[in-house]
Structure 1
């Protein structure tokens, strides 16, 4: 029963921290199989670390006196911290660098913390069962296990920047961030162990200040990093657009609209040879086209001479032109002096309309006038318009 309690106390801090770090990944959580693989291989690095640290301590005891300041610096920085953090980094690099799931910057933190907590879990089990029991489990649950998680956060932060630099082709920035992914946790881990092994109250106070400061900074950093998580392929200028793609619009996005995921490709160099024109435009004075390159001219082109007519205004003379229009003395109509006109000549007797109805012809003549006599053929009903006999 006691063994189960000790095992639970040894594993519980690592499990809780791993669940917390993974839950912060709200966009695309990493596969459980990959997380389990990193936890397992991270735990196996504990065995290699024990062996290498033991060999390093034996070599250090040979050349440097024990319990001296140089001994503590070399032991904590160059043996313990270097061996443990480099073992974690090797597992992290081999398992995740070419993994297709590694496509967001926060993924690097999840991978590095998983590797570190796998190491911390097995190391905590060994310390709890071999060295102290429940008090050791409680003390390490508050210091060592969160400390390894903090080392993994520093490693994962620079590890993600190195992956982004490789995607965009920045080789120098990639290797600089890979170096920092190893150096930052080694320095923090080494100073953590150094202040604990000095054994003075001043060193213990320095440890508490340093440990709490780094722990707060690390967890604030990952919370901000998880909230601003963007794909590896994003250019830095698109960070604000990825966080809020609707910021440039006055209206709010529709309910349920998801953020678009952009995966731009890196710019490719233009390998096409530049165009070099061989044709030379002739000038206005050039009358023939010279041959281009090694060509032989088969004809000569002579530009035609264009004659241009120049307008010359006519000379002004006093002699009248034969084509001049006559000038009239009056340019407007003047009525004649005659004020009355004679009546028109008579046009002959009027023929009333009616044909054989001559009894109605009297109404066509005004009162006081006499109706003329008509020929007999008209009185008989003949057609007056018919000229035939």
Structure 2
């Protein structure tokens, strides 16, 4: 079991460390990052119960499951927890902080989800789990956090628009990811790898832009 836990959690910790250290100016307190990560771990339990209930009680189409029961539902709960545990906190004091906290929560969720998956299907699945769902959760978190970071230092209509983007853009991307996995079948990897390359390009671009936003924000102070 220890081997399963290590294989399940190690990719998430590596990705979290990567994005945490991408903050070029002022890294966040580790205590806050760990707390948000633990919230992500705990989120797995209500998500599993509620998604199971939806799937058992409702006869839903595959695209509804991909975009709403999984994509929007999961990303909304992540967004809600990041908003109330970090966004409103005094330590959230620069644009890149959104990426740190959203990624921490997403990777907490991915860690425990991965433990359950590898416990069921075997440690031999660890490589593909790290490459696809764990990385996917991290990158959805990056994109969510980028727009939360911008919203924190905006006002009025622009702030509301950025808050909406911080929820609905990662939810949409999560839904597309799920839909590809559900429909590609034998060509799954040929279909999903280009999408993951796009996600990494988009996520790293948001990391760069968030660091640049800090410079612009400070120059206005």
Shorter-chain TM band: over 0.9
SS in 1 for 2:91: coil
Residues 109 and 6 of structure 1, relative CA distance in 2, 3 Å threshold: same
Given the alignment of the two structures, is residue 147 of structure 1 paired with residue 136 of structure 2, yes or no? yes
The one of 192, 197, 203 equivalent to 1:207 is 192
When Rg is computed on C-alpha atoms for both structures, the one with the higher figure is 1
Shift of 1:26: 2.5
Distance 1:159 1:215 in 2: 19
Shift of 1:207: 2.1
Where do residues 6-45 of structure 1 align in structure 2 (5 Å cutoff)? 6-45=4-43
Given the alignment of the two structures, is residue 99 of structure 1 paired with residue 81 of structure 2, yes or no? no
Q: Which of the pair has the greater relative contact order for Cα pairs under 8 Å at 6+ separation?
A: 2
Map of 1:86 onto structure 2: 76
Distance 1:193 1:51 in 2: 19
Given the alignment of the two structures, is residue 136 of structure 1 paired with residue 94 of structure 2, yes or no? no
Shift of 1:203: 5.6
Shift of 1:204: 4.5
The one of 54, 57, 71 equivalent to 1:56 is 54
Shift of 1:225: 2.8
Q: In 2, are the aligned partners of 1:46 and 1:84 still within 8 Å (CA)?
A: no
Residues 212 and 262 of structure 1, relative CA distance in 2, 3 Å threshold: closer
Q: In 2, are the aligned partners of 1:52 and 1:83 still within 8 Å (CA)?
A: no
Where do residues 307-318 of structure 1 align in structure 2 (5 Å cutoff)? none
SS in 1 for 2:214: coil
Map of 2:180 onto structure 1: 195
Shift of 1:27: 1.2
Distance 2:53 2:42 in 1: 18
Distance 1:199 1:262 in 2: 48
The one of 217, 230, 239 equivalent to 2:214 is 230
Residues 203 and 15 of structure 1, relative CA distance in 2, 3 Å threshold: closer
String of CA shifts for 1:4-57, please: whole Å, max 9, x gaps: 222111110011111111111121110011001100111111111101111211
Residues 77 and 163 of structure 1, relative CA distance in 2, 3 Å threshold: same
String of CA shifts for 1:190-249, please: whole Å, max 9, x gaps: 1101111114455653322122112222123313433x2517xxxxxxx2xx7xxxxxxx
SS in 1 for 2:27: coil
The alignment covers a number of residue pairs equal to: 221
SS in 1 for 2:181: helix
Distance 1:175 1:199 in 2: 36
Residues 223 and 263 of structure 1, relative CA distance in 2, 3 Å threshold: closer
SS in 2 for 1:121: helix
SS in 1 for 2:96: helix
Given the alignment of the two structures, is residue 171 of structure 1 paired with residue 171 of structure 2, yes or no? no
String of CA shifts for 1:324-349, please: whole Å, max 9, x gaps: xxxxxxxxxxxxxxxxxxxxxxxxxx
Map of 2:149 onto structure 1: 160
Distance 1:140 1:190 in 2: 17
Distance 2:159 2:75 in 1: 19
Distance 1:60 1:74 in 2: 11
Where do residues 219-368 of structure 1 align in structure 2 (5 Å cutoff)? 219-226=204-211, 228-230=212-214, 239=216, 264=221
Q: In 2, are the aligned partners of 1:195 and 1:204 still within 8 Å (CA)?
A: no
Q: In 1, are the aligned partners of 2:149 and 2:210 still within 8 Å (CA)?
A: no
SS in 2 for 1:105: coil
